[in-house]
Structure 1
Amino acid sequence: MPVHVRTVDLPGGPGRAALLTLDPGHPRRPFVLGPDPLRELDSALDQAERLVTEEGLVAIAVTGVPGAFCAGADLKQVASVTTREQSRGVAELGHAVLGRFADAAVPTFAFVNGTALGGGLELALHCSYRTVSTAARGLGLPEAYLGLVPGWGGTWLLPHLAGPEVAVRVTIENALANNKTLDGPQTLAAGIADVALEPADFLVESLRWTGSVLRGEVTPERRGPAPADEWEAALTRGRSVADTRVHGAAPAPYRVLDLLEAARVNSRDAHFAAEDDALTDLVVSEELHAGLYAFDLVQRYARRPVGAPEGVEPRRVTAVGVVGAGLMASQLALLFLHRLKVPVVLTDLDADRVEAGVERVRSGVEDLLRKGRLDPDTANRLRANVSGTVDKAGLAHCDVVVEAVFEELSVKQQVLRELEPVLSPEAVILTNTSSLSVTEMASVLQHPERFAGFHFFNPVAVLPLVEVVRTGRTDDPTLATAFAVGARLKKTCVLVRDAPAFVVNRISTRLFDVVARAVDAGTPLPVVERSVDALGLPMTPFRLAKFVGPAVMLHVHETLAAAFPERYRVPDFLPRWVEAGSPDLVAPKGDPVPTDAAAEVLTATGTGPDGAEILRQVQDALADEVARVLEEGVVATAADVDVCMILGTGHPLFTGGLTPYLNRTGAAERVIGHRF
């Protein structure tokens, strides 16, 4: 990965600058910082400083190739580090090289023209000044998401530049929110960049702005030291977020917060030494290597889904039908409308339901416009492209039709009987069932080969997984079309065999079955809620059940209890919860304190297992169910299970997904006699 050095004129004076360009050497790969690129950057800085001395250059600037600045550390090289000595060497090398931008004899400028993650953003933070493109996306310090800390200056530079509130937001809140990042305007608003410039002439305008700074015509604002109460408020919020997201199950977020707290009083050099210590510990930790495995796995499946038939052309999709106009169906319709940019038609039993569904979709378009994810012209086209009808014949022109009606087999079969005759022979029919047999649904079709499961997860716009369910009759063109549509929807598709509740709901329900048995046995609800904190799940069991919907949970439990009565049962309290209107049983936020409704729904008396025993039972049950899913061929590999659980339920990257966690805790060997 070369770093090119050239001299450039600063428009209007006061002289010339050395411009370093980070070049990944490949059009589809970003520039990343490993030992070799860092040494290349070090040599480029040697050259730039010679030019400063010999030719009187007045500044050093660094930028990336069009659209990308620097994507941070080379994770493959990080994964290859096995000793603390190697780990410390990487930490110290990064500080030594990037620190040269802060210690240079002339002002330094970062022209952030695109993605700047981790060490890439830290490089920019070391510079004296920063411009950012208004089109830039993907700026942040996501290290805690993977099991690391921003270890090349980020935990000292960012709070001193933009304040502790911004530092906590970027390193903790955004990182633990599935690696949320900033765009160019947000980076400016946060005080990280000094100016945001349009992308068309970004380099020229950055050089022009550099000249104006050096001539004294522009003086970028710098905030003073943050008061003590601002530090305290930010760090308290950060610890609350970390507790909520990882429940103490991962060390990295807490190491980040410790470093941010220390940055308040540390000198720069003392702090960088503390970052070296933290990186030395974490780079060789089990959590990091689990996180890197999971991160790489998710990236690979997103690029090339496993199970998509090779060499088979998907059918062209020019219009989509959605059967059903309820909340889930409306979410699906909005997703298809937004991503595919084709006409979408909803149908339901009566005009009022159809009208309500269409209105929900159009309101969703308004939300996207308000959030800046659509321009007004596109929003107008999308609003015009959604329509509704009570007549299924109105779907006759659709190339793909998604069935999303009430989760009852007989209802879905009746819909399919009515739907098939009105569609073209080439149309693909997909069902969004969460647990019913796709094969039994297909039994009423004249052409079951064009039918497959296409199971989304709620909320549809957020969770990236789709389980693509193949029956024994589904043909390759149908499967290829499902995978192609999933890719256009920006979803990760995993091929699963038709089996009760497929993968995610089956395994997740086994977990809930264990905690539900504990509740039925009399274990206090707060103990049950906290018992599985070690899994690092984003929601406690009963908060997740409320979010999914107790009626949905009841249906899935009934399905699995009928299929596997030796392992699954319908919890005693679950029908009462549904009958009571599915109220919150624990406080929605903060400590999982039981609500008044819990006393009416959870009527068990006795002494159930304690938290440690519940966790062990959960681990063993999960290991058993994963082994059964693999033995039955529901999915092909343990990696398929990990992708499903990471993307479908939010199993965190720092556990590596589910099977590495079961390996590390010994559950796999306890239950099946070997590691996954």
Structure 2
Amino acid sequence: MTTLDAPPLPTETVTTAAFDLVDLPAGAGRVALVRLDNGDPPGPAMRPTTFGPQSLANLDQTLDALSTMAAAGEIAAVALTGKAMMFATGADLAMVPTVTAYEQALETIRQGQTVFRRLADLGVPTFAFINGLAIGGGLELALHCTYRTVSESAPALGLPECALGLVPGWGGTRLLPHLIGPEGAVRVIVTDALEDRRLLDPRTAHQLGVVDALLPAADFVGASLDWAAGVLQGRTAVPRPAPAPTTTWEAAIAHGHEFVGARAGATAAANRALDLIALAGTAPADEAFAAAAETTAELLMTDEFRASLYAVGLVRAATAPALGGGLPTPIRRVGVLGSGDAAARLAALCARRLQVPVVICGADRAAADRALRQAGELVSAHVGADRAGTSSAARQRALLSSGDDVHALAGADVVLECVQDRAAVPGLLAAAEEALGDTGVLVSTTGTVRVADLARGLRRPQRLLAIRLVPPMDTSGLVEVVAGDETDDAAEAAVRTLARRLGKVPVRIGDGAGGVVVRLLTRLVTASLAAAGGAVRADAALAPLGLPARVGVLADLVGVDLPAEVADAPAPSTDEVRHRVAVALAEEVHAMLAEGVVRTPTDVDRCLLLGAGWPTHLGGLTPYLDRVGASAQAHGAPFLPTGMASRPRSDADTTAAR
């Protein structure tokens, strides 16, 4: 079994806040234009602009100089903007492992509040020119300014902290409800965050009142300076809503609590955020800011937040664009070998996503045509009923064809085997290989036969791989990729290209029977049913985890028959049921590591997060199993090093790591 060493402690990527003096048009005065930049060049791997202690100190020094200039009448305004496509994303979460005590966390949050609040006390109006991504503390920085513009090309704005088990700590819970009303604040801070970390596009942010002006991307800073000149000269009015009545605040908070209560396993941070929004409606600013700092510091020290941060890091690494891999492998034609329900669904998915010809090869003409009709119906079901949707569906259906002989697969760049009769698969793959000639990649979708076994009857085993498709096929974001001992790089590159174009993330796993997600969900279902004595009791026991679906739904997805519910049968407590399930899952993960199905525990977590909607606040499966002691009970040790996805390291650990 592969073990993991704790990663080295990070150092801060410092964001600087240098400024230039710019004369505004129409004699509106001089503005100090501050540019936030961490020195990382634009590109797919560009690090976000963040604020750690040194970055905050740098901004503080800049504000010292600007405060002096404002008092001397040398500037009429201050404006902040960012580097290419990036305004700021807030706190430097990479520094979290260095925070080992509540007092240390509280001091960092207070430092951010102190520096950001200076923007309201400079003696001149302040502007945020949001040229790019502005989330978390980056948006909070903009909220501290008097006015805000946003570029039409900005990727997103939002306060997604609740999804990480945190709350906005640098002013968002106080400033946003007073700017757009408590209903809008509950939406942005709580509802959107819990709905898959949904963020605002620039137009929606403008409609909500989060920003004051939506401006074209071309010469955005120049257009913002023109707009600011109009504001300063009184030519451009910027309306602000009247204070909301108490009843509106109460209704918004009640709605937020109702929303959170209906979501099994929602992070505790969501209710804490609602409490802070409610406090903003009654308490003085200093009290509201102090409460936000204390709450954020408390949550920073929780396992829930550490696990969420670990989970987000895994997903971000898996979904990041690949660098240095050359051009994607061209996929111009796809073959689907099989005629059952799964084959029809796969063919429809390929036609919709790839927009290339897809041929379905069945055992006979009737079966092939039946699968073709089903695939066409599935394509139609995924588009709108208007004229545009009808036209799109017609184009996609025209890409589909069928045949009852493997020679119909000739010319395909990828052939996806999806045959229900497992015993027939080796022979069909060999026949498909002959039909393809010297080109094309063979991909088996079976989860029960090893690639090494399927490759024995092939003349070119280097072109064979397997993929494990996670149900439901249309919505799961994962493709588990299995390469054989002889699979070459070109074949694997083709499958990775296929996965990306299907809207899924390819994750390499070992050549074992079954896939990671299906195997673990199957063990979860069977263990919970056995421990609880039925699906209803199993659901009650697992509800606090916030799993993506009820046990009955998961059982249907992985093909487990539900036993009859025995209402009066004795059953252990819900805590005991959860513990038994956790131990069973720990045993399964340990077995998968031993078999080489996965190389490290993080592979397990990555697959479940991407493919099964595993709750982010649990951090993945293995951190949860470590926290509840199931890992130690199952095989004598935790899966992950202490502090990697749970509580922060002790002072002794920190000193040793340095």
Smaller-chain TM-score range?
0.7 to 0.9
Give how far 1:88 is off: 0.9
Which of 416, 419, 435 is residue 402 of structure 1 equivalent to?
A: 416
State the match for 2:629 in structure 1: 666
State the match for 2:545 in structure 1: 535
Matched ranges for 1:215-230 at <5 A: 215-230=233-248
The answer to whether the Cα contact below 8 Å between 2:70 and 2:122 also exists between their aligned partners in 1 is no
Which of 490, 493, 496 is residue 483 of structure 1 equivalent to?
A: 496
Which of 70, 91, 99 is residue 52 of structure 1 equivalent to?
A: 70
State the match for 1:265 in structure 2: 282
State the match for 2:512 in structure 1: 499
Give how far 1:87 is off: 0.4
The answer to whether the Cα contact below 8 Å between 1:325 and 1:358 also exists between their aligned partners in 2 is no
Matched ranges for 1:134-283 at <5 A: 134-247=152-265, 250-283=267-300
Judged with a 3 Å threshold, the aligned counterparts in structure 2 of structure 1 residues 31 and 332 are, in CA distance, closer, same or farther, namely farther
Give how far 1:70 is off: 0.6
> What secondary structure sits across from 1:4 in the alignment?
strand
Which of 417, 429, 432 is residue 419 of structure 1 equivalent to?
A: 432
Separation in 2 of the partners of 1:257 and 1:72? 21
The answer to whether the Cα contact below 8 Å between 1:156 and 1:268 also exists between their aligned partners in 2 is yes
Separation in 2 of the partners of 1:618 and 1:603? 20
The answer to whether the Cα contact below 8 Å between 1:63 and 1:110 also exists between their aligned partners in 2 is yes
Separation in 1 of the partners of 2:625 and 2:492? 32
Larger displacement relative to structure 2 (394-403 or 607-616): 394-403
Number of corresponding residues: 616
Give how far 1:531 is off: 0.5
Separation in 1 of the partners of 2:68 and 2:499? 53
Give how far 1:611 is off: 1.4
Counterpart residue identity of residue 227, structure 2: W
The answer to whether the Cα contact below 8 Å between 2:348 and 2:376 also exists between their aligned partners in 1 is no
Which of 93, 97, 111 is residue 129 of structure 2 equivalent to?
A: 111
The yes-or-no answer on 1:131 pairing with 2:149 is yes
The yes-or-no answer on 1:553 pairing with 2:581 is no
The answer to whether the Cα contact below 8 Å between 1:314 and 1:477 also exists between their aligned partners in 2 is no
Separation in 1 of the partners of 2:252 and 2:472? 29
Counterpart residue identity of residue 653, structure 1: T
The answer to whether the Cα contact below 8 Å between 1:358 and 1:388 also exists between their aligned partners in 2 is no
Judged with a 3 Å threshold, the aligned counterparts in structure 2 of structure 1 residues 166 and 311 are, in CA distance, closer, same or farther, namely closer
Which of 611, 624, 638 is residue 587 of structure 2 equivalent to?
A: 624
> What secondary structure sits across from 2:224 in the alignment?
helix
Larger displacement relative to structure 2 (649-658 or 602-611): 602-611
> Residue deviations 1:48-98, cap 9 Å, x none?
333333353221111111211112211111232111121011110110111
> What secondary structure sits across from 2:148 in the alignment?
strand
The yes-or-no answer on 1:432 pairing with 2:445 is yes
Separation in 1 of the partners of 2:464 and 2:499? 15
Give how far 1:190 is off: 2.1
Counterpart residue identity of residue 208, structure 1: D
The answer to whether the Cα contact below 8 Å between 1:321 and 1:402 also exists between their aligned partners in 2 is yes
Q: TM-score, normalised by structure 2?
A: 0.85
The answer to whether the Cα contact below 8 Å between 1:111 and 1:132 also exists between their aligned partners in 2 is yes
The yes-or-no answer on 1:640 pairing with 2:569 is no
The answer to whether the Cα contact below 8 Å between 1:334 and 1:364 also exists between their aligned partners in 2 is no
The answer to whether the Cα contact below 8 Å between 2:344 and 2:372 also exists between their aligned partners in 1 is no
The yes-or-no answer on 1:300 pairing with 2:317 is yes
Judged with a 3 Å threshold, the aligned counterparts in structure 2 of structure 1 residues 144 and 517 are, in CA distance, closer, same or farther, namely same
Which of 333, 342, 356 is residue 319 of structure 1 equivalent to?
A: 333
Judged with a 3 Å threshold, the aligned counterparts in structure 2 of structure 1 residues 674 and 49 are, in CA distance, closer, same or farther, namely same
Matched ranges for 1:303-382 at <5 A: 303=320, 315-323=329-337, 344-345=358-359, 349-351=367-369, 353-358=371-376, 360-361=378-379, 364=382
Separation in 2 of the partners of 1:212 and 1:312? 49
Which of 620, 636, 656 is residue 657 of structure 1 equivalent to?
A: 620
Give how far 1:108 is off: 1.2
> What secondary structure sits across from 2:72 in the alignment?
helix
Matched ranges for 1:67-86 at <5 A: 67-86=85-104
Judged with a 3 Å threshold, the aligned counterparts in structure 2 of structure 1 residues 334 and 163 are, in CA distance, closer, same or farther, namely farther
Separation in 2 of the partners of 1:202 and 1:336? 39
The answer to whether the Cα contact below 8 Å between 1:19 and 1:61 also exists between their aligned partners in 2 is yes
The answer to whether the Cα contact below 8 Å between 1:355 and 1:388 also exists between their aligned partners in 2 is no
> What secondary structure sits across from 2:443 in the alignment?
strand
The answer to whether the Cα contact below 8 Å between 1:71 and 1:118 also exists between their aligned partners in 2 is yes
Counterpart residue identity of residue 613, structure 2: G
Separation in 1 of the partners of 2:327 and 2:78? 51
Matched ranges for 1:443-482 at <5 A: 445-460=458-473, 462-482=475-495
Give how far 1:362 is off: 6.1
> Residue deviations 1:556-602, cap 9 Å, x none?
x4xxxxxxxxxxxx65x2xxxxxxxxxxxxxxxxxxxxxxxxxxx53
The answer to whether the Cα contact below 8 Å between 1:141 and 1:170 also exists between their aligned partners in 2 is yes
Separation in 2 of the partners of 1:449 and 1:252? 50
For CA contacts below 8 A with separation 6 or more, give which structure has more relative contact order: 2
Judged with a 3 Å threshold, the aligned counterparts in structure 2 of structure 1 residues 380 and 247 are, in CA distance, closer, same or farther, namely closer
Matched ranges for 1:27-42 at <5 A: 27=41, 28-42=46-60
> What secondary structure sits across from 2:34 in the alignment?
strand
Separation in 1 of the partners of 2:34 and 2:345? 46
The answer to whether the Cα contact below 8 Å between 1:158 and 1:167 also exists between their aligned partners in 2 is yes
- Consecutive unaligned residues of structure 1, counting only runs of 5 or more, are 558-569, 574-600
Separation in 2 of the partners of 1:420 and 1:140? 50
> What secondary structure sits across from 1:217 in the alignment?
coil
The answer to whether the Cα contact below 8 Å between 1:312 and 1:480 also exists between their aligned partners in 2 is no
Give how far 1:621 is off: 0.6
- Consecutive unaligned residues of structure 2, counting only runs of 5 or more, are 1-14, 640-658
Counterpart residue identity of residue 257, structure 1: L
> Residue deviations 1:298-317, cap 9 Å, x none?
22233488xx9x99997543
State the match for 1:288 in structure 2: 305
The answer to whether the Cα contact below 8 Å between 1:365 and 1:383 also exists between their aligned partners in 2 is no
Give how far 1:246 is off: 4.7
Give how far 1:355 is off: 4.6
State the match for 1:11 in structure 2: 25
Judged with a 3 Å threshold, the aligned counterparts in structure 2 of structure 1 residues 334 and 212 are, in CA distance, closer, same or farther, namely farther
The answer to whether the Cα contact below 8 Å between 2:176 and 2:185 also exists between their aligned partners in 1 is yes
Give how far 1:276 is off: 0.9
Larger displacement relative to structure 2 (176-185 or 454-463): 454-463
The answer to whether the Cα contact below 8 Å between 1:527 and 1:610 also exists between their aligned partners in 2 is no
RMSD: 3.3
Separation in 2 of the partners of 1:360 and 1:608? 43
Judged with a 3 Å threshold, the aligned counterparts in structure 2 of structure 1 residues 123 and 314 are, in CA distance, closer, same or farther, namely closer
The answer to whether the Cα contact below 8 Å between 1:467 and 1:495 also exists between their aligned partners in 2 is yes
Give how far 1:436 is off: 5.2
State the match for 2:7 in structure 1: none
The answer to whether the Cα contact below 8 Å between 1:347 and 1:354 also exists between their aligned partners in 2 is no
Give how far 1:281 is off: 0.8
Judged with a 3 Å threshold, the aligned counterparts in structure 2 of structure 1 residues 286 and 340 are, in CA distance, closer, same or farther, namely same
State the match for 1:585 in structure 2: none
Give how far 1:426 is off: 2.4
